[in-house]
Amino acid sequence: MLISKWLTSAKHALRGVICLFMFERNARIHLFLACLTLGIGHFLHLSITEWCLIILCISLVIALEAVNSAVERVVDLASPDWHALAKDAKDLAAAAVLLSSMGAAVIGAIIFIPKIIALFIFS
């Protein structure tokens, strides 16, 4: 019984992931950048700690993109007409994605830039 409830929950979550990447352009952009980052990380032979940080950053950005999309849909459902609070809710959810993306970019720069510089200096 417990396993069937978990499987049902997992099925709904997987549907959410599919909806995220089918209907949200920014999520597809984040997915493309994540794949690019993973490829570069593979090429640069990241350490386990670096991989953990990169995967955490990717997961955080994509998860917040999903939350942002959910907030936008709920706000549109609850307030189809323009309202200042609805705008604030959407803007705040988008800010969460922006802030996490900026943090991920900084972490990526800290990890990748020295490795890329080393490639050019020592090759």
The residues that are catalytic are 65
* Angle (deg, nearest 10), helices 84-121 and 48-78: 160
* Angle (deg, nearest 10), helices 84-121 and 25-43: 20
Category of 63 on φ-ψ map: left (φ > 0), alpha (ψ -120 to 50) or beta = alpha
Amino acid at 48: I
